[in-house]
Structure formats: C-alpha cells, structure tokens
A = this chain, B = another copy of it.
C-alpha cells in the first residue's frame, strides 16, 4: 500500500496562542515591537500566511508540490532489526529515512514548496544561507526545476569539510559562495572581525539577505526556523503516522535532531497532535550537540537570528548570537538559536531535549551503518543516540521512532576522521558560552527596563 500524505499538519491550530505569541518580534535597540512589514520583507504573502494562521488544522498540499513529492515520497519507514540486535535490546526501533531523495535530506520537502510559492509570486532569484549544505542542495534543485535562479552562501567550515556538497549545488546550476565571502558587506565585516572565521548560519543568512535586497526580483528563502518551513516538513510525520498504522505499531518515543527545528517539528508535530487528540501519550525527544546546546543550556530570550541585523529580534531558546560554535561535523546543528515556535513549546514542556558529544554520535552512526547499511548524516545520528538512550532507560520493551533527516554520503570525510581517531569531542569553550549568555541577558534586561 502506498501511503502518501496530502496535507501539512498546522500545529498552530492546536495551540492558537503561539500564532500570536510565536513571532512577536521586537527591536531591542528601539524597544519597539516590530511591524510585520519590517519583519519579513522577503517572505511571499502565502508563506507569511502559512506562518501565522491558526484557523485550520490541516493545510492541503498544492497539486504541483504533491507531484514533485511523489518522485520520492512516501519515504521508507523501516524497523531496524539489525540495529536492535547490535544493541541487544528487545525494544523495537523504527527509523523514518528522509535521505533517499535526490537532494539527500528532508530539506527537499520545504524547498519544493517554497520554490513553488516564490515562482507563483513572480520571484526570479532565490538567495539563501546553508550550513552543512543539505538545504543548499535541496533549494538548488527545487529552483532548477521551477526555473528560478539561486545564490547560496554556505558556511565556510562546512564548505571545506564537505567539498562535494557545493559541487552538487553547481551541478544543479546554482551560484555558490563560501561564507563569509568577499561579495557582501556582512561577509567582509565578518572577515575583518575574525580572519580565521569558521562561518555561521547567521552570517551566511545575513549575506543572502543583503544580496536579496540589492537585486530586483530576488528574495531570501530560509531552510528552517520559520513557521512555514516547520509546516512543510510535517509531511514527514503525517506520512509516518500512516505508516505506523499500516505496520500496526505506535511509538512510545519519537526522536529527532534539532538545529533551527524544521526536521524536529516535521516528525513530531503530527505525533504530538495525535497524542493530544487521541490521548495516546508520546514522549518526544529533541537531540542536539553538546557543541551547540541551545535547548539544554541556552536561555529563552530575545535574540537576533542573523548577523546582518536586518531580521528582527525574536524570542527563542538561544546561546546568544555572539557564541562561536565549534566546527563540529554536524554543521546543520551549529545554529545558535532555534525556532521561536519550538522554543515556546519547549518552555511549555511539550517535549524534552538531550545533548550528545561528537564522538558518541559517530560511534552510534558507525554501529548503525554496519547493521543497516545506512550511512546517515552526522546531524541525524543525534536522533539515533536519543533512541538508544530511550530503549536503554526503559524498564520494559518499548517502541521508538527515530527520524533520520538525511544520508551522510557527502559527510564521509567526517566518518574518515572518526575512524582514524582524528576527531575531537566537539566541546565548546565554556568561557565563551558564559560570556555570550551574559551579554544576551544584559541586552534583554536593558530592553525590559526602557
């Protein structure tokens, strides 16, 4: 049986308060609430609407988007028996695998949708920032297919760690810059401030925004964090619900890695809704790197999401925009903050979070690869760590569903470093974290005071 979900799950319908509270951006410098017109000059009306509407529970996926989804969806949901055996557990571990499409990750789900809406709105070029390059590859192909030009700024450290991913984007016809680059003010400023700058998603996005504002017909697109991106990704969880039903099992625990949040929201929102509406409790665990532990160590505060300061302050779980995240191989999880919507939900206790060190992540990834053959992205391996914890800590056999956001074939140099014993544990500089959090608290207190 083919199970193809044809709607996105709009979680704002379950929590209408977030639709109002969620975005609520502020300008800390002026202590004014940002107006929408200031806030998202780059978003098309339809995407803006998707980010804020609470009135319908399910949003129909447009036919042209569904048609492209059908090239690779439904994605596999398989029981990883060989992995269970390798762990010696009697629990059932399922994985939902989003790495089997051409672009290699879940990012394609939103890339296709965004390319569709932008094209429909008359946009000619998309600019964007990408971390490990999964989003960059996805939007490059989606734009190529939709007949849109695309300019990608890829975080420097990932660009060098994963040299084949920018090639992939070029194959799809995209223009790629290593960020910080020399082609924008934001990039040049970052290079002057730190000539050895590893780069960050906040700088890459800042560069992309600058370019979008300077070229007529160009718009900035974002691969995660915003509500509409989270919404598009719920096709993953919608489909997984149907597949679990077909299998005749239901997960006690759902795990996913969290960067800016779209992968995590994609699998978990539909399960959260099922849990709320059908009274079937599901424990949802967000897995993050110790290197960038915004959920387990960050604070809930107003902060900037990009280095260009053109985006408004948003309230989110964050380590502060001044934090310098170690160059871990899970480049997609190096963003200092996370989605405002998810952050609010985390504050309200709707899910848990765990942080993992880099070596444990790769140890788990190699164990999984030998058992199942699947070489997963370092980001996705965090979800496997959380799944392993869940079955090990359970007093009795349970059912766990781990979301594998992408394959790791273009991350094999990272696996190489691990197998050679040349990988560090990805621990952050504690002094720097303390300083960043302190700066963040000061800014927020100042804004409260005036």
A: residues with CB less than 8 A from B are 71, 78, 82, 100-104, 141, 144-145, 163-164, 167-168, 170-173, 366, 369-375, 409-410, 412-413, 415-416, 419
Q: List 11 additional contacts besides A164-B413, A167-B415, A170-B416; criterion CB under 8 Å.
A: A71-B372, A100-B100, A102-B373, A102-B374, A164-B416, A167-B419, A168-B412, A171-B375, A171-B419, A173-B370, A409-B409
Chain B residues lying within 8 Å of A371, measured Cβ to Cβ, are 145
Q: Is the CB of B167 within 8 A of A164?
A: no
Of B102, B170, B375, the contact of A168 (CB 8 Å cutoff): B375
Partner of A412 from the list B370, B375, B410 (CB cut-off 8 Å) is B410
Q: In the assembly, what is the distance between CA of A438 and CA of B299, in Å? A: 77
| Copies of this subunit | 2
Closest CB in chain B relative to A400 CB, distance in Å = 19
A154 to chain B, nearest CB (A): 14
The 7 closest A-B pairs by CB, nearest first: A102-B373, A164-B412, A167-B416, A167-B412, A141-B373, A409-B409, A171-B369
Whether A369 contacts B415 in the complex (CB less than 8 A), given A164-B164, A409-B409, comes out as no
A412 pairs with B373, CB closer than 8 A: no
Q: Across the two chains, which residue of chain B brings its CB closest to A373?
A: B102
What does DSSP make chain A's interface, helix, strand, loop or mixed?
Answer: helix
Q: Knowing A78-B71, A145-B82, A373-B145 are in contact, say whether A170-B419 is a contact too (CB < 8 A).
A: yes
Counting chain B CB atoms within 10 Å of each CB, which of A102, A141, A369 scores highest?
Answer: A102
A172 neighbours in B (Cβ, 8 Å) = 369-370, 373
**When the two chains form their complex, are residues B419 and A366 in contact, meaning their CB atoms are under 8 A apart?**
no
Q: How far is the CB of A312 from chain B (nearest CB, A)?
A: 35
Residues from chain B with a CB closer than 8 A to the CB of A170 are 415-416, 419
Q: Which residue of B lies closest to A374 (CB)?
A: B102
Distance between Cα atoms of A370 and B147 in the complex (Å): 10
18 A-B pairs, CB-CB below 8 angstroms? A71-B373, A102-B373, A104-B409, A145-B371, A145-B373, A163-B413, A164-B164, A164-B409, A164-B412, A167-B415, A168-B375, A170-B415, A171-B412, A171-B415, A172-B370, A172-B373, A173-B370, A409-B409
